[in-house]
Amino acid sequence: MKKVKKDEVSISENRLIKKVKTSLRLVGREAVSQAFTLYYTLRAPDTPVWCRTVIIGSLSYFISMIDGIPDLTPFLGYTDDIAVMAAAIATLSGYITPEIKSKADEKTGQLLGD
């Protein structure tokens, strides 16, 4: 898979999928869809640099084991991750195209067996 590198931070689809699979039962469909929406917006060629910075920060926070509420805490451990991704999506919603949303929903469906 192609890796996206910005400011020495690398987020790959495989790394994101690995994190999603390990936390799938606790995170829920909406959070998975949010993660992929952000990822595919990051990869879109028309996404401005400031949006990419917001996306990299939020996805890095989601993928990282070091955050405000440890991910090992059942359910509550992901509430901060979900909030950060939701805030990022709200901030850059104007750059999320219907194609990006559709691709994110499709990938979420594949992972969840829909």
What is the structure's pLDDT at 80?
82
What is the structure's pLDDT at 30?
83
Residue 35 CB-density burial (10 A; 0-12 exposed, 13-18 middle, 19+ buried): buried
Backbone dihedral region for residue 109 (phi beyond 0: left; psi -120 to 50: alpha; all else: beta): alpha
What is the structure's pLDDT at 1?
46
Query: What's the rounded Cα separation, in Å, for the pair 27 and 20?
Result: 8
What is the structure's pLDDT at 77?
66
Q: Which tokens sit at 69?
A: 């509420």
For the chain, give every domain's residue range.
3-112
Give, for all 114 residues of the chain, the pLDDT tens digit. Answer: 445 455 445 778 888 887 777 666 556 788 889 999 999 999 999 999 999 999 999 999 888 777 666 655 555 667 888 899 999 999 999 999 999 999 999 999 888 776
Q: What are the backbone angles phi and psi of residue 3, rounded to the nearest 5°?
A: -100, 145
- Which residues fall within 8 angstroms of residue 66, CB to CB, at 6 or more apart? none
What is the structure's pLDDT at 86?
95
What is the structure's pLDDT at 99?
97
Query: What's the rounded Cα separation, in Å, for the pair 98 and 33?
Result: 13
What is the structure's pLDDT at 48?
96
Query: What's the rounded Cα separation, in Å, for the pair 88 and 12?
Result: 18
